[in-house]
């Protein structure tokens, strides 16, 4: 009984340093996680710049005036692939309706590296996923972590259009030599 009372009285004294240590450990751990997250995001930003994503995915870029207020918000120019169709680079911002907001990190990595979207459609090779297939998993993850920090832009790109459809927007087309019949 005596021992019990003593333990009861001692408990707060014993517990305090333990709780304090746990608290400071978790604060340090949290700070380290936040720092790792910031490093990962700046690596993603660097890779997105170097990977040229904006050349295709930012409106205005193909007209020489990239719209920085809608950075990676989806192009206004379709890319025509002979025999396959016309594909408009979609919105990569975290907008839930028109961008990648409803996709998981893993789904975005899969699209970037294998071309397969959550619906099962394989992206046209004008999206250079063959080139991005060689990214390390960590770099592909960093790209997605960065994309998730972008301000959401509400912009649904049209398409994709089939090979004989006539898209109602500007398109980039590879023209055959003048003396050849044009392919669809």
Q: Which has the closest alpha carbon to 108: 77, 78, 132?
A: 132
Strand locations in 48-111, DSSP E? 77-81, 85-87
By CB under 6 A, is residue 169 in contact with ligand HEC? Answer: no
CA 140 to chain CA mean position, Å: 9
Cα separation, 163 vs 135, whole angstroms: 31
Question: Residue 160: is the preceding peptide bond cis (ω within 30°)?
Answer: yes
Rank residues 33 and 156 by Cβ distance to ligand HEC and give the closer one: 156
Binder among 56, 77, 142, 153 for ligand HEC (CB under 6 A): 56
Residues within window 14-33 making contact with ligand HEC, judged by CB under 6 A: none
Cα separation, 54 vs 164, whole angstroms: 28
By CB under 6 A, is residue 117 in contact with ligand HEC? Answer: yes
Helix H or strand E segment including 81: strand 77-81
By CB under 6 A, is residue 51 in contact with ligand HEC? Answer: yes
By CB under 6 A, is residue 77 in contact with ligand HEC? Answer: no
Shortest separation between residue 75's beta carbon and ligand HEC, angstroms: 8
Binder among 143, 145, 161, 167 for ligand HEC (CB under 6 A): 143
Rank residues 16 and 133 by Cβ distance to ligand HEC and give the closer one: 133
Cα separation, 11 vs 34, whole angstroms: 34
Binder among 59, 90, 141, 167 for ligand HEC (CB under 6 A): 90
Cα separation, 128 vs 124, whole angstroms: 8
Q: Where does this chain bind ligand HEC (CB under 6 A)?
A: 48, 51-53, 55-57, 79, 87, 89-90, 92, 108, 111-112, 117, 123-124, 126-128, 132, 143, 160
């Amino acid at each position: 009984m005596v021992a019990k009372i003593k333990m009861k009285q001692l408990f707060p004294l014993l517990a305090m340093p333990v709780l304090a240590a746990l608290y400071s450990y978790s604060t340090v751990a949290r700070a380290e996680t936040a720092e790792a997250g910031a490093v990962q995001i700046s690596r993603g930003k660097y890779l997105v710049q170097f990977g040229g994503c904006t050349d295709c995915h930012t409106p205005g870029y193909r007209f020489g005036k990239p719209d920085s207020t809608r950075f990676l918000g989806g192009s206004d120019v379709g890319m025509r692939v002979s025999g396959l169709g016309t594909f408009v680079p979609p919105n990569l911002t975290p907008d839930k309706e028109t961008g990648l907001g409803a996709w998981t990190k893993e789904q975005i990595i899969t699209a970037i590296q294998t071309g397969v979207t959550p619906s099962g459609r394989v992206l046209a090779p004008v999206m250079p996923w063959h080139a991005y297939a060689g990214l390390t998993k960590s770099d592909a993850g960093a790209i997605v972590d960065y994309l998730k920090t972008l301000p959401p832009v509400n912009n649904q790109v049209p398409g994709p259009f089939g090979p004989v459809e006539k898209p109602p927007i500007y398109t980039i087309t590879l023209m055959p030599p003048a003396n050849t019949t044009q392919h669809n």
